[in-house]
Amino acid sequence: MALELAQTHHWGRKDLDRNMLNEELCRPEQADRIRVAVIGGGANPEHNVGRISADAVASALDDQKFTAVPFTIAQDGTWLDASSDPYPSFAAAIGDLETCDVAFPAVHGAPGEDGTLAGLCEVARIPYVGCSLAAGTFGMNKQVTKLIANSLGVRTAPGIVLRSPADAVDVQLPVVVKPATAGSSLGVSFIRKERQLAGAIEAAFKLSSEVLVESVATGREIDIAVLETADGRLHMGSPLEVVLGDQLFFDNATKYGGNSQSRCPAPLTDNERDQLFDAARRMFRGMGCAGLARIDFFLTDTGPVLIEVNTMPGFTEHSQYARMFGAQGITFSQLLDALIMAALRRFTRPSEARSVTFSVTV
């Protein structure tokens, strides 16, 4: 597989008076290194996952092309610098952020993945990897995602939305109870007995102002990684199947406890793969995603049923997203390269950039 990576050099406001480099200096191996603000952590329950992702991204960046500039959002919302010292003010953090050419927001959950970090970068006029404010907001709210999916002809599990623990619940068991705006399977419960339902709903409301109670979709869990390169094309990683065994669902403890099992590439027929890829493309484009997303499905006897759209999935070399492209021979560093170059191409005005396309063949 060959990815065409556009090597784009961004000239931000601080560089507008600088002489443009000639074509010779724009070659990837000779150009100035690009400063990448890698933002991790997060003021939410997924803080530790965000730290791990950001550390992995910063460590894997090609140091011949990039300089990683780490930022961490502490659990109380304080911004920390590369030495893990608190900034004296939020304005000071933004001042350092503005010295970077591009941001890589490796924050999972809200606030952050819900589009708030994208909005911050938009206001600060800093190119960034990943989805826009709107797409991040849509992806973080599972009910909004379902409404978009249904409008696109992508099936979802039937269910109801609760806006208060006191709302009436009239469903046929078994059901899945989940917070509408939480990730990493936090607060998700599989309910078989009536007496378990109220407690599960109460627990989900601790993480979200809305709670979904959905019918159980019976099928294999297949995840699809989508990468949008600088030329606007979508590339699909090898499908990954989450192997649940005797488990009822892929819960948080299994995801991050080191006991998860998966198969990549997942054993699929050509028709099954085509259906999943088609549904993933429709969701990516229909939600206005950019750069990357991991889109999860149940593959049932009657076709794919959408689980959720992750606009910033776990991001280490061993995470599902990277493994799906790794199965095609694309390294973690190459994946980061493609994402950063796509972000720079997306946000850089033609008058402020010189670019050359080079090919990475794997």
Q: What is the pLDDT of residues 318-345, one digit of tens each?
A: 999 999 999 999 999 999 999 999 999 9
Q: What is the pLDDT of residue 249?
A: 52
The distance of Cα 90 from the centroid of its chain, to the nearest Å, equals: 25
For residue 312, give both structure tokens. 């910033």
Q: What is the pLDDT of residue 247?
A: 55
- What pTM was computed for the model? 0.84
Q: What is the pLDDT of residue 244?
A: 75
C-beta neighbour count of 83 within 10 angstroms:
6
The superfamily CATH assigns to domain 159-215 is ATP-grasp fold, A domain (3.30.1490.20)
Say how far apart CA 149 and CA 138 lie, in whole Å.
Answer: 11
Contact call for residues 210 and 140 (beta carbons, < 8 A): no
Q: For the chain, what are the domain ranges? A: 159-215
* pLDDT, block means (10 residues), the chain with 362 residues: 44 30 35 91 95 98 96 98 97 97 96 96 96 96 96 96 91 93 84 94 94 94 97 97 69 52 96 98 98 98 97 96 98 97 82 36 34
Beta strands in the chain (DSSP E): 2-10, 34-41, 66-73, 79-80, 102-105, 159-162, 175-179, 189-191, 211-215, 220-228, 234-236, 240-243, 261-263, 292-300, 303-310, 353-361
